[in-house]
Amino acid sequence: MKVVILPNDQLVAHYGANIIKRQLADEPRSVLGLATGSTPLMLYQLLVEQYQLGELSFRGVTTFNLDEYLGLSGDHPQSYRYFMDRNLFDHIDIDTAKTFVPDGAMARPQAAAQEYEHNIKVSGGIDVQLLGIGVNGHIGFNEPWSSLGSRTRVKTLTARTIADNARFFADDEYQPHLSITMGIGTILEAKNIVLLATGKSKATAVKNTVEGPITAGCPASSLQLHPSTTVIVDEAAASALDDPEFFKHIERENQMLLARNDL
């Protein structure tokens, strides 16, 4: 696991966007796994800017989103399909037929989850999977005590996650308590994983992910098992780590090697 600690959330977004930019330069027909929420929003804005400057194209790209609320149609303002369309897909040259988000309005959600798994496999698998992290260590909607081998499925949200997300819904608005989410096993099959975390509220989750034991109690700790995971955090999110200077030293050394084309 590579841990990168940067001074602020803007630099976290830039670092993550550059990973995706390099991936698309190497393989224009890449398959990207995408996340929603406030953390990746700045990264998406940077990708849109790079596209508008002619530095990036998504014409050959296929995307799969991590999750969706069960019970919301794609045109609902709080759905993740709506989020992705408004914040990324509507502003780049991607073929929308190749942008996959779980269908929260599907009549048979379990069957839809199995189809989602099939579509990922048919695409050749995910090249870069982008993740955020919840304060309880969840990735996607894989809440604590989710199976580390789980696949795309219907998942009940914890009371903490429901409370954390309540700010996105009006007081009199229906807020789903169920979701469709990629499983932890599905996520771990991605060739590369990039996790972004910013802010003091994520510090304990980041510590448990990086330094804690691998446990279903912190789903993100499963990323320790992955051969190519990059965790990008700001100083606040890194504040609970036992030895943040160790990770800063390693990153400085890596950047020196990159500058000499040794990596």
Distance CA(73)–CA(148), nearest Å, equals 29
From 136, 142, 189, 208, the catalytic residue: 136
Q: Is 138 an active-site residue?
A: yes
Q: Is 67 an active-site residue?
A: yes
Locate 40 and state its tokens.
Answer: 């990746």
Q: Are 109 and 156 in contact (CB under 8 A)?
A: no
Strand order from edge to edge, sheet including 128-131? 2-6, 229-234, 192-197, 128-131, 31-34, 62-65, 99-100
Proportion of the chain in helix, strand, coil states, percent, rounded to 5: 40, 15, 40
Bin 37: left if φ > 0, else alpha if -120 < ψ < 50, else beta: left
Q: Is 26 an active-site residue?
A: no
Q: Are 260 and 49 in contact (CB under 8 A)?
A: no
Closest of 234, 211, 236 to residue 223, by C-alpha? 211
* Per-residue confidence (pLDDT) for residue 263, from 0 to 100: 54
Bin 71: left if φ > 0, else alpha if -120 < ψ < 50, else beta: left
How many CA atoms lie less than 13 Å away from 79 in the CB half-sphere? Answer: 16
From 9, 65, 127, 138, the catalytic residue: 138
Domain CATH number, residue 232: 3.40.50.1360
From 67, 68, 189, 234, the catalytic residue: 67
* Per-residue confidence (pLDDT) for residue 165, from 0 to 100: 85
Q: Give the residue numbers spanning the domain of 206.
A: 2-259
End-to-end CA distance of the chain: 16
Q: Is 143 an active-site residue?
A: yes
Distance CA(47)–CA(154), nearest Å, equals 30
Q: Within 10 Å of residue 172's Cβ, how many Cβ atoms? A: 5
Distance CA(233)–CA(248), nearest Å, equals 11
Q: Are 210 and 179 in contact (CB under 8 A)?
A: no
Task: Reduce the DSSP state of residue 220 to 3 states and report it.
Answer: helix
Whether this prediction's pTM lies above 0.85 is answered by yes
Instruction: Please state the domain count of the chain.
Output: 1
Look at the block and give the residue holding tokens 């990159």.
258
Give bridge partners of residue 65 from the DSSP assignment: 34
The torsion angles phi and psi of 123, rounded to 5 degrees, stand at -70, -10
Q: Are 29 and 60 in contact (CB under 8 A)?
A: yes
Distance CA(85)–CA(74), nearest Å, equals 9
User: How many residues belong to the chain?
Assistant: 263
Segment-wise mean pLDDT, segments of 10 residues, the chain, 263 residues: 97 98 98 95 98 98 97 95 98 98 92 96 98 96 96 93 88 92 98 98 98 97 98 98 96 90 62
